Structure formats: C-alpha cells, structure tokens
Structure 1
Amino acid sequence: MGSIITLDQPEPVGVVNIEELDALVIGSGFGGVYQLKKLRDEGYKVKLVESGTGYGGIWHWSRYPGARVDSHAPHYQFSDPELWKEWHWKQRFPDHNELRAYFEFVADKWDLGKDTYFETHVTSAKWDEEEHKWIITASNGKIFRATYFLPHCGIAASRTMPNWKGLGSFKGMLVHSSYWPHEQPVLKGKKIAVVGTGSTGVQLSHAVSKEAGELVVFQRTPAMPLQMRQVNYDDDEESKPKEELEQFFKDREDGYWGFDFGFLGKGTFEDDEATRKASYEALWKAGDFTFWLGTYTDMLFNDAANYEAYKFWREKTRARIQDPRLQELLAPEKQPYPFGCKRVPLEQGYFEMFNKPNVDLVDVNSTPIVEVTEKGIRTTEKELEFDIIILATGFDAVTGGLTSIDIRGIDGVSLKEKFQERGPTTYCGISAAGFPNMFFINGPQSPNAFCNGPTCAELQGNWIADVMNHNRDAGISAIVADDESEKQWGELTETIAYASLLPKAKSWYMGDNIPGKPRRSQMYLGGVPGYYEKLKSCAAEGYKGFHFQGPKGLKA
C-alpha cells in the first residue's frame, strides 16, 4: 500500500496514492521481464509497468500476417533451466503467436503477474535531487516513487507515421503494422497496399499476397533479404538436444552477435574465387543470418569485399524474379548501398511473390506518393484504389521509446532535448550522464540491434542488479555517469561505426529515418564479448566512469 500525500498546490485539490518502490521497470519484453525476475530474486521491491495488455514487448503488438522472429531457436529464449527444460519450440523461427505463448509460459513460471501493471503507460519521470528518488507518472493516474528508474522500452517502441497529405481522409482500413488488430481483419480478395520494404514489409507483404485480390508494394529502397530456411519441429523433436542447452547458453554469450556463430575468421580475398564462391554457397544454403553475420571478417568493413557479397546476393535474387523491370528494382545491377548495412530481413518466398499477376511494385523514387485520398493513394502517375493500406514504415528506433517519455534528470534537464542536441549519448549504452539511478537495457550505443535479444537482456540485466547491490551494500543512494566518460564512450562508438561501412547506408542504424534526428550510430558495433568486457571492467574498477552520492555527499 502506497503512502498518501497532499499535492503541493495553493489550495487543496485532494490526495494522490503514490506507490513506493526500490525500482520501477518499464516494458514487458525480454529486458523488462528478466529485470523484474532478477531484482525480485535479489530482494528488491520492484514493479513492472506495460502499456499493453500482455507480456512480450514488441511481440505483444506485432500480430500482422507473417510476423515472426528472425533469431532462430533455441537462441531466442532465456537461459533459466526451469524454462528451457519444459519449453518446446514448434518452429526454428517462431511466429508471433508462439512467442506470446512463450512469454505467458515465462510469466507463469516466474509468477510475474503479481508485480505487473498492464495498460499503464508512463508519461513522465522526474528526478528528485533532495530525496534521491524518481517520481514517475502514468496516464492512468498511477504515480510511483522509486529509487531506480529502469525504462527497458526496447528498440521499437515508438512507431513512425508518414507525413502525407490526406492521411486521415482514407475511407478504408489504414493501419500501422505494429498496431495490427488483435482480431484479424478479412484480407481475402481485398485490394491492399503495403508501404515499406524493411523487415516488417518483407514479412507482411509476402503473407498478405497469399490472400489479397490485388497487392501493391510501395518501395523507396530495395531490401536485401536472405532466405530464412524455416524448419517445423515434431512434438518429440528439438532445435537442439536438451542435454546440450546448458552449455549452449554459456557459449551464446561469447558469440560476437550473441549467437552461436560468427565470422569465418579470414578475409574475403584470402580465398581464391572458387573457394570463395563455395563458402558463399554454404552460407546461402544454411539460411538464417549466416550469409550476413557469419561470413568473411571484412565484409562489413571493406568496399571490395562487400561488393563480392552483393554480387552473389544479386545473382541469386535476380534468378528468382521473372520481370526484368522488377529485377532491376528489387536487385539493382548497380549496388544501391553496402550489403548488410541496412537491416537484413529473412524471407520465405518474397521475390517469387512478384511473379504473381496480382502483385505489383511501385518505386516511390520515380513515382512519388502525392497524397492519400478517400479511395486510396495518388502518385505522380495516377490514383490507385485500395480497401486496405498497411503502413510498414518502421520506428523511431532505439531512442524513441525513451524520448516519448518526459524524462527529466538533474536540474530538470530533458533526456529528449539532450538526445536531440547531441545524438544518443550514453555511457556504456546503459545509462546517461545527468540522469542518476536510471539504467536501460538495449539502449542507445549498446549492441541492441546487433545482439540476440535474450542474450543482452541477461547480460545487462545482471549488471544493473549488481550495481544496485553494490550501492545498497555501501549505503549509496545515487549513482550517475560522468560527462567525460559518456563523451569517451560516444567517441568509441562512432570510431567503430565509421571503421565499418554502415554509415555509407541511410538507415535507422544511423537515425536516418527520422527527420531532424542527429546522425550518429544508434548502437555499439564492437561485438557482445567486447561490450560485456567493458561492463565487467567498469564494475571491477569500482564502477569507473560513475559518481556516487550518499548521506555525506559526492564520492569519486
């Protein structure tokens, strides 16, 4: 039961029920769920709040046709034996239904429900310097006072909508892919537009094409998907034998990407042409991200090496497309950007879809969208009529979940304004200077998009619990990152990013999809082991790069 206080107003306006906590966690994805379990096991009074109605984070919202994870089983799960000894994956790449079922299984096993508030959207969090507490307010009227504020919002918590003329005038169904109705709408025989060809657009459009009477995909930049190579498992068949999983999860932490595979250990041109082609063929046959993240060490760092990979991808892809016009739009002869430097989707027949007579592609570079009308979409060429318009237009990735909350730290400084002025500056990708006792999993300048989600949720969640234990044992009431340490971490993140080819592509990896967003790497690209070593060394050196505050004031 929270304490009752009177609001500080000129005249009494009533009372507010404030819940006192050691920590408040936002988000019921892998990061938030794990953090709740970990902190509760450590003896903290902690609650988790979630704006949706169930567990799963992005998988609570992403229910569109074809939605499935592209981290293959058994990677995409927690390492707790209590869970994996009983859980059985039905597919190598589980779909959104199976993923929500997994989260419900986890919630039941870990008894998370007693400490979770659903339909609770946090709108503001303000640091009280005198009390060393966060005052956190939700839109449903709930108010929390917590020593630690842990906004584990994830990298895809803030949707982006196109700023098109007439967007609200469409008389049919218009929906963003991440707001897909829980009750599936009727698609069969409908005229459908899918706007966007990122990972969501690739999955969604292919699934929709099986039912649509007509489908038009609006493309700005061609995606470079890889074949998923899906596998269905029988009830008595596992993705990996149970007796191997304990060691598997230990090894997962040592993978560069948080997976059990990494680079080949040699450069592209260390192999002759025949050997190189054989290596590409083996990676291609394996499916998954291996052609992207399990390839030659220089593929993401050397233009010539990258072009070799693109040429192979282009040859394989064009062979699947019948129309020469679509071959050039979907797999251009001239490489449009470095391969693998925009998010690589996994697909199961995406390119063959365009061979169907009821599927077409509009290149919005040559035929821009002018406006949305009552009947559909008008381009510079003509008006296209639709029953359904689906916006697969992505997210304000990595930072959007944080900046959508009015977070104010020391002296009332706004996190949103800080990120807008400087870019996504953090220390170790897990905290921000000027914001004491605030930590985030998969935050800006952490491995986030280049780390298997559960892997980093556990690594970062454990580190956060450890620093809280350190402070509790030492009688420290506040910890905050140094400006200089944050600056150095940002410089390191940028140095690694610009040693790669990623900045040569315009993508959400660099914040390019949001007008006005500072162009900086949204993630640390030095690999999971290197990142974790940084966290461990920070802790081993007495949390170097942070300052502490206790009853007697500031400590070095």
Structure 2
Amino acid sequence: MAAAQAHHSQDLDHDVIIIGAGMSGMYQLHRLRALGLRVRVFEAGTGVGGTWYWNRYPGARFDSESYSYGYSFSQELLDEWDWSEHFSAQPETLRYLNHVADKLDLRRDIQFRSRVTAAHYQDDARCWQILLEDGSRHRARFLVTAIGLLSAPTMPRIADVETFKGQSFHTARWPHEPVSFEGKRVAVIGTGATGVQTIQEVAKTAGHLTIFQRTPNWCAPLHNAKIDAREMADIRTRYPEIFQRCQETFACFLHTPDPRGTFEVTPEEREAFFEKLYGERGFGIWQGNFRDILVDRAANAAISDFVARKIRQRVKDQAVAEKLIPKNHGFGTRRVPLETRYYEVYNQPNVKLVDINETPIERITPEGIKTSDAEHAFDIIIYATGFDAITGAFDRIDLRGAGGRRLKDAWKEGPQTYLGVLVEGFPNMTMLMGPHTALGNIPRSIEYNVDWVTDLMRHARDHGLTRIEATRAGVDSWTDHVKSLGMGLLSNEINSWMTGINSNVEGKQTRIIARYSGSAPAYRERCDAVAADGYRELNLA
C-alpha cells in the first residue's frame, strides 16, 4: 500500500502525462490505465490518430499490409475489424483508430486542442511540469513522449511563400474538407513518398500538373487490391501466424531478406528473382531482396540497374525517364516509396516535370512559382516537402531535464539514448519510437515499446520508485552500439531523413545516426534482458 501511495503523489495532477494521441499514445494510455495510474494525454489535434489524423492528403495510405499494421494486442479488435484493401487508405485507417478509441473508451483521458510547448523536470518534486499553448500548467510524476517520427512538417526555404493568392497546403496539414483539382493548374513541390502518393492521385483530375523535383526516388509498385469478405475471413484465421512472422523478421514486416547473396546465383536467376519481387505486393523488393543489396556496392548497383530499366520502360520520354532515375543514391538506401502507376503520370500530356537542380525555384509569387528560367501560374500549390524527422518533434518542445538542461543541447551532436527509450539527465521521461529504437513496420515496434515502458512503470509502482533515469555508461554503451550497427550500411552514407539531414531546417545539415539499424528481434532481446535483470542498469530511487 505504501508503495502505491508513494507513486500516487496527491499534490500532482496526474501520475503520467502522455504527449500525443496517435497509435503509440493511444495504446500507452490503455496499458497505463490498466495499472491503475492516473493518466492524461495532451493532443494538439481535434481527434485521435496522429499520423493518420494529420496526413489527409490525396493518396495517403499504408505501405505495410493493412493486416500487419493494425494493433495485435486485442483479439476482440482483430475479430471485429474488416480491412477493405491490402494497403488501407487514410480515411479507413482513421476510422479504424477512432473505432479503437471508442472501443477502449480512450477519449475521456485525452485533452484535444492542447499543444505542449514546454516540459520541465522539477528536481525537488521529482516530477514533470507541462506547459500548454493556452498557458495552463500540469504536473505528473512521469512523462511519456508519443510524438512520432514524422510529425514535424517542414516548409521549403523559398522566399515569399506567404504572397501566393491561390490555395496552398503542406501535405501534413491538409484541410479537413475536400479539395477539388478539377480543371485547376496544380503544382506539387517534392517527390518523396508523400509526393509520389499525392502526384499519382492529383494527376487523375488536375487540368495541368507541374511537378518540381530536386531529388528523384527509387519507387516500386504497390500492387494494392481490394479484400473481399472471403479473403478477410481467411486473413482472420491467419492472424496468429501473421503477427508471429512480424515478430521474427528483421524489420517486423511480412518480408525479410533472402538468405542468398546477389552474386551467388546465375544472372538469369537474379533477373528472374528481381522480376518476381517487382511483381509482388508491398516492400518485398526492398525488405525481401538478396541479403547484401544494402551493404554491397556491386549488389546494390545490380538492383538499381534493374529498377532503372523498369523506369525507362514505363516512361515514354527518355529524357524525362533519366530525370526520374536517381543518380546520387542506390535503390533502397533511402526509404522506398511504393506507387500505383506513378511513372505513367509522366506520359500524360497535362503533366510537366521541372528539375529544380537545372532551374531552381527563386521565389513564390502571388500568381505561382518563379524559377530561374520561367514564371509558372498556378491555382493550387502543394508542398510535399516532408518532415524534420526523428528529432524534429522533440526540438519543437522546450524540453528541459535535471538542472534545467535543454534536450536540444544534450543532443547537439546527435541523439544519445538508452535503448531509444530513456535519456540521461532527463529522469522519469520515456520516449515511444524515439531515436535509436527499432523502426520498420511501426505499429509492431510501437506495441513492443509501449509494453516495455508499461512494465517499467509497473516496476516503479510496485517498488514505490519516484525517479527513473538512464546512466551515462548505459547511454554511451547503447549509442556506441547503435553507431556500430550502422557501419557498412550504404544508407548511412546517404543524405535522407533517416540520417537526420534536412536542408529545410537550420542546423540539420550534418549526418547523424538517428535510428537503430539492427534487427527488431535483437533489439527486443536486449531490452528484455534489461527488464529481466530488474532494471539494474538504470538509476532507480
């Protein structure tokens, strides 16, 4: 009883405050409530869903198979939810997450329209004080960040953006009401995963579409299809093996690397294998390819050449095809966008590609976009310019740990974490899907992350602990381990959001190791060992 009372400090508003009501915040709320803790979630939006609440742009959808993406923790949820497509679109996904929120009665502990601007650790009281945008303050023993890897959108550094007279949107801040492209002159700036999904949808109805591309990406076919009642019934019987498979694979996808090396087979076998993967659903061509394509330059060149040939076959104008083939990175070394007739868009007479390496954008004008060689008039400008990834959402909150130290300063040279969950000098703060955790198929990683944090909180409750902190030695060891895992990976030589590079953000021009590059099973094994040892690697008080 004494332990429970020590944990339930009566002078605090809550036992735990969670920032964010996306997939991780929702599940963490559910688990901590079951421990009997007083939990409050602060969410900037007007509803649950996180990524799937904010990203309403046309074409937004999963690139993990729907049935491998939904929550696995509740048999009831699995039994009653039908997915309508192999790769669910955003509206369906948001309906699913609202269904989960209703089912688990989550909203009563979530405060919407509540953006957290600051979180300061109070040394004397061993608690966190949270400041909201409306000026209100809230105190809790523990703070959980569920703020997402890709939740801090970035606008490009282009002059006079605010002068444009037409409609303009960042894809991650899309309006809640429909936007019509019918007969309109539309610009899309950016050809990353979001840009690709947006472009292939907007091209269906736009009067004229101009695409401004800086860096082309290697894209592969999604091969989406509807799921009928019979197939859904079959999927439901296979849920145990689907989730077991996700537990066993390298990155929690249904796909995992082929054990063979690229050059251990004949050229004919290699070509046939690449063809097979190119014709199959989802990330197989990236995650289920020969084991060496992401570490061996010659192997990577082989798959890159194969996909380049596909692009040349699909795009009629070969000058345009060459612009769509990446020259500064190999296939799979950046996140691979999955597409549906994306390359065929460039065969449409009403679509134009502008390479801004050749003719840079100089500024936005009231009528449209001025490049170095032309003025383009538009009715709508869409900024598919991505996110300040992984650490960006942390940077937007004034986070201060023990002694008032700012997280931004602690991470000046790149993130330093313990298991990707804890930070030295920031007691009682845990991160869900923070830097240095296993990423891959995100909801599978979320569930593990949340379960691990829940067990840590249970340990604190049962032992009357009021301070949990990573040690310097633990952080150094884990950060070094994460860096060593990145050695030899071709992707860590490339500028991308996965290496912390963002030319649109001041100070994000230096490559860092912001993600864990090992296998998800190895990550879980390490975290499980820490828990099994009674968390003796942490400072507990």
CA distance in 1, matches of 2:356, 2:342: 19
Aligned to 2:496: 507
Q: What displacement does 1:195 show?
A: 0.3
CA distance in 1, matches of 2:466, 2:328: 52
**Maintained 8 Å contact 2:255/2:283:** no
**Maintained 8 Å contact 2:12/2:141:** no
What code does the residue aligned with 1:22 have? D
Partner of residue 396 from structure 1, selected from 379, 388, 392: 388
**Maintained 8 Å contact 1:252/1:258:** yes
Question: Are 1:480 and 2:474 matched, yes or no?
Answer: no
Secondary structure at 2:140 match in 1: strand
Aligned to 1:553: none
Secondary structure at 2:381 match in 1: strand
What code does the residue aligned with 2:67 have? P
CA distance in 2, matches of 1:356, 1:215: 10
Q: What displacement does 1:133 show?
A: 0.6
Secondary structure at 1:144 match in 2: strand
Aligned to 2:221: 227
Secondary structure at 1:422 match in 2: coil
Change (3 A) 1:437 1:19: closer
**Maintained 8 Å contact 1:233/1:239:** no
* Identity percentage of aligned residues: 38
Q: Deviations over 1:234-262 (max 9, x none)?
A: 24431853222134323322221112320
Partner of residue 356 from structure 1, selected from 348, 358, 361: 348
Aligned to 1:244: 238
Change (3 A) 1:323 1:69: same
Structure 1 residues without counterparts, runs of 5 or longer: 1-17, 550-556
Give the CA RMSD over aligned residues: 1.5
Change (3 A) 1:522 1:144: same
Aligned to 1:8: none
Partner of residue 23 from structure 1, selected from 16, 20, 24: 16
Q: What displacement does 1:78 show?
A: 0.6
What code does the residue aligned with 1:468 have? M
Aligned length: 528
**Maintained 8 Å contact 2:424/2:471:** yes
Question: Are 1:440 and 2:434 matched, yes or no?
Answer: no
Partner of residue 42 from structure 2, selected from 36, 39, 49: 49
Q: What displacement does 1:512 show?
A: 1.2
CA distance in 2, matches of 1:182, 1:46: 29
Aligned to 2:415: 424
CA distance in 1, matches of 2:477, 2:349: 55
Partner of residue 172 from structure 2, selected from 156, 167, 178: 178
What code does the residue aligned with 1:83 have? L
What code does the residue aligned with 1:359 have? V
Question: Are 1:287 and 2:281 matched, yes or no?
Answer: yes
Question: Are 1:78 and 2:67 matched, yes or no?
Answer: no
Question: Are 1:493 and 2:493 matched, yes or no?
Answer: no
CA distance in 1, matches of 2:247, 2:137: 37
Q: What displacement does 1:459 show?
A: 0.3
Normalised by the length of structure 2, the TM-score is: 0.95
Structure 2 residues without counterparts, runs of 5 or longer: 1-10
Normalised by the length of structure 1, the TM-score is: 0.93
**Maintained 8 Å contact 2:57/2:172:** yes
* Map 1:199-218 → 2, pairs under 5 A: 199-218=193-212
Q: Deviations over 1:54-80 (max 9, x none)?
A: 111011011111111111121110111
**Maintained 8 Å contact 1:89/1:239:** no
Q: Deviations over 1:25-80 (max 9, x none)?
A: 11111111110011111221112121101111011011111111111121110111
Q: What displacement does 1:19 show?
A: 6.4
CA distance in 2, matches of 1:45, 1:148: 11
Q: Which deviates more, 515-524 or 472-481? A: 515-524
Question: Are 1:327 and 2:294 matched, yes or no?
Answer: no
Aligned to 2:31: 38
Secondary structure at 1:237 match in 2: helix
Question: Are 1:109 and 2:109 matched, yes or no?
Answer: no
Aligned to 2:8: none
**Maintained 8 Å contact 1:397/1:508:** yes
Secondary structure at 1:207 match in 2: helix
**Maintained 8 Å contact 2:247/2:521:** yes
**Maintained 8 Å contact 2:120/2:400:** yes
CA distance in 2, matches of 1:520, 1:484: 20
